[in-house]
Amino acid sequence: MAATSSSEEGRGFEYDVFLSFRGEDTRKGFTGHLYYAMEERGIRTFMDDEKLDKGESIKQLLGCIEKSKIFVPIFSKRYAESRWCLMEVAKMVQCQRLIIPVFFDVKPTHVRNQSGPFEAAFESHENNKHLSKKTLQAWRDALRTVGEISGYVLETDTDG
What is the CA 149 to chain-centroid distance, rounded?
14
Q: Is 50 a catalytic residue?
A: no
* Active-site residue identified among 8, 56, 88, 126: 88
SS (H, E, C) 102-151: EEECCCHHHHHHCCCHHHHHHHHHHCCCCCCHHHHHHHHHHHHHHHCCCC
Distance CA 130, CA 12 (A): 35
Catalytically annotated residues: 88
